[in-house]
Amino acid sequence: MEKKVLLEVDSLKKYFHLGKNEILKAVDNVSFKIHQGETFGLVGESGCGKSTIGRTIIGLYDRTEGSALYDGKDIHSMKEKEKFAFHRQMQMIFQDPYASLNPRSTVAEIIMEPMEVHGLYKDKKERMGRVYQLLEDVGLNRDHANRYPHEFSGGQRQRIGIARALALDPEFIIADEPISALDVSVQAQVVNLLKRLQKEKGLTYLFIAHDLSMVKAISDRIGVMYLGNMVELTTSNQLYKKPLHPYTQALLSAIPIPDPDIEDQRERIILQGELPSPINPPSGCVFRTRCPHAMPACSEIKPEWQEIDENHFVACHLYNEKIVSDGNYAETAATK
Ligand code: SF4
């Protein structure tokens, strides 16, 4: 039986008006669902809109169009009281734990603050008991409670950020590049911690990162973003076995394979050109200025979001028989 849909994002747009006639289309018509207990990874280069999606879903930004439903309720139409209750259910972990932790507060104060705001637990003693429990849950100990953020390493600070996010016992966590600022040696530890906590507490994650190999390690399904658009979405196994979108293929080809024989024979797809500006995105397919398979139709027609195999969606004309059979593809440089 399919699990309950906890978050449903439908045709979400988030535009920023920068000035006269300048609109930054950070998120442009993105749709996906996240089921209870699942980890959904969002991946793409910086500036592709993945963090803006997270911030719009949790209500830090208002939406421009479209909707994000949490447990069936429209997040952006919630009244204050509903929003307050919703924030107990959905919490966020940030990229830079140092910036998100108040340097003048002790670890105990940092973790306790959301409990106080939401009036949880009878008194300070009970809250302190909860702080100790959370510190243990994230692999720290009670001796850390009275120290300050600067006394910890980057990995430990991220653990404090996770403990704070768990303080209200949420069911959904948005992890926005939670490991990008950490040393490679510590990244896997934090990913393993998030996986363990998910199992123990039945959490649902939206995991945002630019590193596809890390996203694969934690996600059940992955959505690939490029310039505000989602270009491919499927299970993480299927994405690795059979990536369909040329952008996904390029991202995957950049991940080293531990077997030197396979690694030697592998062809790297190097994307040409810079990421275009989301203020003035290319017409038609937004990826066409860097796509090795671009054909004439790509600059004129925006590719449709199609389900190619079960639960495998892509937005690319290469999978549109009509466009390919019209002779478009034969003219591309990639086929010569
Ligand atoms: Fe490349 Fe065209 Fe597909 Fe876009 S629609 S990814 S430009 S082939």
Pocket test of ligand 1: the residue of 289, 290, 318 to mutate, having most ligand atoms within 8 Å of its CB, is 318
Give me the pLDDT at residue 335, please: 41
Q: Are 106 and 135 in contact (CB under 8 A)?
A: no
- 216: CA distance to ligand 1 center in Å? 24
- 293: CA distance to ligand 1 center in Å? 6
Residues with a CB atom less than 6 Å from ligand 1: 245-246, 285, 287-288, 291, 293-295, 298, 303, 316-318
pLDDT at 241 over 70: yes
pLDDT one-digit tens code per residue, 10-34: 999 999 998 888 999 999 999 999 9
pLDDT at 180 over 90: no
Pocket test of ligand 1: the residue of 298, 328, 329 to mutate, having most ligand atoms within 8 Å of its CB, is 298
Q: In the chain, pLDDT over 90 holds for what percent of residues?
A: 73
Q: Are 202 and 6 in contact (CB under 8 A)?
A: no
| Domains of the chain, start order | 5-242 (3.40.50.300)
Task: Specify the ligand 1 atom closest to the Cα of 288.
Answer: 7
- Tokens 């906590």: give the residue: 197
The beta strand positions in 164-269, using DSSP E, are 172-176, 204-209, 221-226, 229-235
Give the model's confidence band at 286: pLDDT under 50 very low, under 70 low, under 90 confident, else very high: very high
Name the pTM for this structure: 0.92
Residues 227, 213: Cα–Cα separation, whole Å: 20
Q: Are 163 and 130 in contact (CB under 8 A)?
A: no
Specify the DSSP class assigned to residue 301: S
- 237: CA distance to ligand 1 center in Å? 23
